[in-house]
Amino acid sequence: MASTNSNKGRAVVLSAACVTMFFISSIALYSVVSKNLLAVYPEWSSALTWAFPVFQTIMAVTGIFAGRISDKIGPRNVVIAAAVCYGLGWFMSGTVTEPWQFYLWFSLVAAIGNGLGYNPALTTGQKWFIDKKGLASGITLAASTAGPAVLSPVLASLLIPSLGIFGALKALGVIFFVTIAASALFLKAPEAGWLPEGFEAPKGGAHAGTFGDLTPGEMVKTPRFWV
């Protein structure tokens, strides 16, 4: 596919990225989770104050390194690791009996999974659509916003009433692992030098931006980074 500059198969990669983004963006379900969790353990109200901010911090820090790791070992391997961490984190959150356990499984393990999966999925789709980066980004980000919109009512109206909050968390863990791991099997970065059929790379390289291809160190020296 890469050697012939064929566009064949790149829609499959983008679709797989969308599936990953759809399910891994389900962190927005936390509002539903916390409400029902505190209904069982109301005394945890103050203890869980930092659960979501800690999740976001761990996710962001992990995401910084996820892209570089993906470039070295491939997005498929990184997203499979994300599926394991994310699915395990949600599943084990359904077994907690103490606040610190929730921080361990949700705010740490699930957050690492989220950080590992988000950037590789998004950027892999973009790499196959360097001729239509805006479109590819828009589609994958739309999938990430559609995920919580679809899954929130499923969690609140179906899973929790049927399984209880802890059973619902376990079910989500299984769902997230299966769907993200399955989508990861179709994620693959294009080979070096690959270009879409009929596309001519602009001066500075196909993936170069306004400032050209930059290393992280070079990036922080540009005014746009600080803005």
CA distance 214 to 217: 8
Residue located via tokens 């930059």? 214
CATH top class, domain 10-191: mainly alpha
Question: Residue 40: pLDDT band by 50, 70, 90 thresholds?
Answer: very high
pLDDT digits (tens, 9 = 90+) for 49-63: 999 999 999 999 998
pLDDT digits (tens, 9 = 90+) for 97-143: 999 999 999 999 999 999 999 888 888 888 888 877 788 888 888 98
Inform me whether the pLDDT recorded for 2 exceeds 60. no
Nearest to 127 by CA among 182, 205, 62, 185: 205
Residue located via tokens 């910084």? 64
pLDDT of residue 128: 82
Inform me whether the pLDDT recorded for 218 exceeds 90. no
Inform me whether the pLDDT recorded for 207 exceeds 60. no
**How large a percentage of the chain has pLDDT more than 90?**
51
Inform me whether the pLDDT recorded for 181 exceeds 70. yes
Q: What is the pTM of this model?
A: 0.83
